Amino acid sequence: MVTVNEAKEKIIANTLLLATEIRTLETSLGYVLVKDILASFSLPSFRQSSMDGYAIFHQDILVNGTALTITGEAKAGERSVQNVNKGEAIRIFTGAPVPDGATAVIMQEHTAREGGQVIVNEFPVQSGKNIRNVGQQIAEGAVALPGNTLLCPGAVGFLLGLNVDTVEVYKKPKVGILVTGDELVKRGDALGYGQVYESNSAMLIAALKQEGIYETEVLYAEDDLDATIVALDALSGRNDVVLASGGISVGDYDYVGKALEAVEAQTVFYKVKQKPGKPLLFARKEDTLFFALPGNPASSLVCFYEYVLPALRKMCGRQDYFLRSLQLPITHAYSFDGERDEFLKATATHDTVIPLDGQESFALRSFAVANAIIYLPVTQNVVAKGDLVEVHLLPFS
């Protein structure tokens, strides 16, 4: 049995980066760049107005109310704009090229138009005011985005603005899910006495989709060693990660551990000093990772977020493996006995964290409204109201 931190260290140490691929920017959201992207030109590539107003020579404005002659207009997309001479102004719009000779743009709100003149009601005017300079956002040849950047919508838009069509990124893993348990019934079928509807596979697939992982498959196996071996062998042959749901405890019909041995997966650890989720097994066969998760749904989801998610993220090239962590004051006193760390389903606000009712390993209802997990090590087994506790924010919080 290992500690929580030991389990996380062993998982990260045994997780390798996936191969890379070339993707179009439009399909790269949520992927991680392999190498630096350099700017092939400057942004902006020309002096650009950041306001609607008038392009002027700033030293013309000697007093409030100075009148300038309007000699032209510049709008966004203009290929040719006449120069601005002393005593002149050009009507200009946001995004338009700033004319040569102009050293500032006066906001329309600070002007009044009288016939062919504009009255500037601002003094003094600073050189460069409301002008975006060439390369102000990024200079030609500079690193636009460094390698290991997670591509968000802003990154996609930024790179498209630099005329980048494709990027080299780390692949997303293929994930196979094995569901075991004779008591489980697929949704839509009639539910008999002693049976429950199987939901773990859909729950795990939803969590994977939230990470942008869509290549998944699910196999079902009866509580039978041979059937479990066949299913695990099939999944391991075509997936980067295999998640087994249930069948990993010490019951007479828990066959996943023996089946992993049969398919020659090497166990890295079995059991973690935690509650819930003690019977977690982590194994590896070459580059394929195996996580045998507890069958109880709340335990399974805790183990997914705390252990599976970091491995998936490392495979994809991310540097932030683990859930975002912060310290928050707890709203209720809490204590526990024993020698295992505890994870509590919780709701975090901007300044507190609330432990929820229904902390049992089978109780998924509280997870349905949780946005965080409280982590309490055994060294902090008694907390009073207002004490700071470690809070792990769930990905959608």
Per-residue pLDDT of the chain (397 residues; tens, 9 = 90+): 999 999 999 999 999 999 999 999 999 999 999 999 999 999 999 999 999 999 999 999 999 999 999 999 999 998 888 899 999 999 999 999 999 999 999 999 999 999 999 999 999 999 999 999 999 999 999 999 999 999 999 999 999 999 999 999 999 999 999 998 878 888 778 888 888 878 899 999 999 999 999 999 999 998 889 999 999 999 999 999 999 998 787 666 588 999 999 999 999 999 999 999 999 999 999 999 999 999 899 999 999 999 999 999 999 999 999 999 999 999 999 999 989 999 999 999 999 999 999 988 888 899 999 999 999 999 999 999 999 999 999 998 7
CB atoms within 10 A of CB 228: 26
Placement of tokens 């229904």 in the chain: 358
Domain harbouring 144, CATH code: 3.90.105.10
Taking the model in full, what pTM does it have? 0.90
Residues 177 and 277 in one domain: yes
Placement of tokens 């692949």 in the chain: 171
Residues 28 and 161 in one domain: yes
Helix, strand, coil distribution of the chain in percent, nearest 5: 20, 30, 45
Query: Taking a C-beta distance cutoff of 8 angstroms, is the pair 71, 54 a contact?
Result: no
Last residue of a domain, one of 122, 147, 170: 170
Domain harbouring 336, CATH code: 2.40.340.10
Query: Taking a C-beta distance cutoff of 8 angstroms, is the pair 344, 334 a contact?
Result: yes
Domain range for 384 is 324-393
Domain harbouring 99, CATH code: 2.170.190.11
Residues 275 and 362 in one domain: no
**Region for 171 from its dihedrals, namely left if φ exceeds 0, alpha if ψ lies in -120 to 50, beta otherwise:** beta
Phi and psi at 315, nearest 5°, equal -55, -35
**Region for 379 from its dihedrals, namely left if φ exceeds 0, alpha if ψ lies in -120 to 50, beta otherwise:** alpha
Domain harbouring 213, CATH code: 3.40.980.10
- Which alpha helices (H) appear in the chain, and where do they start and end? 4-13, 153-161, 200-210, 225-236, 256-262, 297-303, 309-315, 365-369
Residues 381 and 353 in one domain: yes
Q: What's the sign of the alpha-carbon dihedral 200, 396, 312, 278? A: negative
Residues 26 and 166 in one domain: yes
Residues 64 and 199 in one domain: no
- Measured between alpha carbons, how far is 328 from 387 in angstroms, rounded to an integer? 8
The verdict on whether omega for the bond into residue 44 sits within 30 degrees of 0, i.e. cis, is yes
Q: In the predicted model, what is the mean pLDDT of the chain?
A: 95
Query: Taking a C-beta distance cutoff of 8 angstroms, is the pair 57, 103 a contact?
Result: yes
Residues 378 and 240 in one domain: no
3-state secondary structure of 293: strand
Tally of helices (H runs) and strands (E runs) in the chain: 8, 28
Residues 26 and 162 in one domain: yes
Q: Which amino acid is at 211?
A: E
Q: 324: closest CA among 348, 301, 340? A: 348
209-255 per-position pLDDT tens digit:
999 999 999 999 988 899 999 999 999 999 999 999 987 876 665 88
Last residue of a domain, one of 256, 285, 315: 315
Residues 218 and 294 in one domain: yes
pLDDT number for residue 185: 83
110-140 per-position pLDDT tens digit:
999 999 999 999 999 999 999 999 999 999 9
Q: Which amino acid is at 197?
A: Y
Q: 307: closest CA among 90, 106, 6? A: 6
CB atoms within 10 A of CB 310: 19
Most distant CA pair in the chain, distance: 94
Residues 153 and 292 in one domain: no
CB atoms within 10 A of CB 280: 25
Strands 37-38 and 143-145 turn out to be antiparallel
Residues 304 and 338 in one domain: no
Strands 37-38 and 88-92 turn out to be unpaired
- Measured between alpha carbons, how far is 29 from 167 in angstroms, rounded to an integer? 11
Residues 224 and 304 in one domain: yes
Last residue of a domain, one of 295, 315, 335: 315
Q: How many domains does the chain have?
A: 4
3-state secondary structure of 34: coil
pLDDT number for residue 251: 67
